[in-house]
Structure 1
């Protein structure tokens, strides 16, 4: 007669204990070895016999020199917010940008992808390439002959540069022309196109081709560093965050003016000759954070349009900043500092565009001309940067 099992806990635990023991039998050791290095004992250094040559080991991956002008080592570290994804991460677009008489193509793909597509365009249209420099980002065509001008020879230089936004490309074109007898003689490229109409024709043809074809994602290894470094960066200058642009002063003012009408900014007033913008800012409504009620009926989450009772002239006449060489360089049009009355509760910010020989610096100050705290300044400059074109 089989006796019923009354001690069922022992029946269940027995196989489990056998399983644990069997794991150790099979050689599995689950002990944590994370601190075993603390038990390591020092050993004598290796001595190379004198009859052999001893070469010291070098770093395989050299650590680059620390650049401290991007941040202040004395301030508390904060994990930076991730950059907003560029449009190029989702869909490619090709646009023709214009500033005054200048026109160029903007492609939101990196130069290493655009470079081979330009070469394909020239080859498909039987335009011979006389010279190509991937490091400088230039492609020079051979001398061409248009049917309507047999006595003249024409050629083009294509400039491929890094765009203002990450993973974007700017394409500039310059046209040159010469008589048939002089076309074979090497000459320098002109500062401006000889024939703007011929430049515009090539620009439009290239833009239409790039827009009509889909990018295959292929890249040129020779063009990995094309167009130099980034044109836009946030630097620390004398302890103040500054948006630095490797652009002409004219273009910097134009792209800043565009950015200050986007993503929560509103331009109250400006002094374009002095490069000063008086703006307001209200954080734009995020549709993902709205409730179903406000999406249907509106309400508290509706966008607020900032306003001000002051003009820019009033603010500049009553700046509350000390007179110094730095202040005079930032506000060159102001005759006196700190002598005016202090205005009451000035809203908004002053965006100041200052050009130097090599670049253009953008600062953001409060309505009295004083510095913002570093975190707020970096935050607002980052928003402006995302809207540059």
Structure 2
């Protein structure tokens, strides 16, 4: 019996067993987040273009061993706030002296009056508190990524979940798994911007007899990004303002929830083709400062591995293995290599996603890792993926 048919059989049996039940007084939670790591289920097979590449964790910051003084922190925050300069086109929604919600169109992120070194251990501790495991982290780039996990809050709130779900996890599941990325950027005024992005995979039935399943990329969920931003904001506030009253905390939670609501915006980019009709660039209808944040969020959502970034030079350095490029390289390995099944893994090249300041607009191009024209032929593909996310 296949995994899929076994799951359906168990569900059918459970449904029959409880069909005569009435209200049993079971209290189901209305939480939006009930994650559990996917270690108990089969490994999530990620398509080639999303395969993660091993990260070097030599820059990882160890767990927190010191306590921040609330009085000293408040004094420092007041000094930082006095020197703070608000970016043109941004709206800061006042929350507390520690954390604020920033908004630009549909994008939301947190601005905190603290340095990345102070926030890094707080964010490290945050993910386990919501049931997620940190898979990779790099303090050099201010980046963390969680393991794939299933959000049990999406399961129907019924008796079957209560009786079957706890016994046979594989038999009663959402068929979806989520992953989050958090990225921190240092500002000149000693504040830190924190971005959270969501990715998903969905389990799809395949096979001639619909007897097997495969995992495919699903859409990102802005509501879950907002949920995690809200939870992280409250965690940071509790960390740096431990003496806040219960009413103040409730008011903060409600204010942040309202601030994170998205707002519709018109199309903000267009594709620029070259003489060969291939995609040459993407023109983003935003000034450079806003475009830098927008492109950074898009890169996180697309699953590229961030290697480095330089805001002054105007580029994000990412590692990406294009499926077409990978297939071409495997074919070049030769007949005998493929015949004996000893083909070598193809290394993912580095690419620079370059942003050029053009006043009211920003021009986005893709170069090789050293800033030269791309020799792999993948640049148009990356630009097309960026354009789809920037619509």
Work out which structure has the larger RCO, using CA pairs closer than 8 Å and 6 or more positions apart in sequence.
Answer: 2
Larger of the two Rg values belongs to structure: 1
Tell me whether the two structures share a fold, i.e. TM-score over 0.5: no
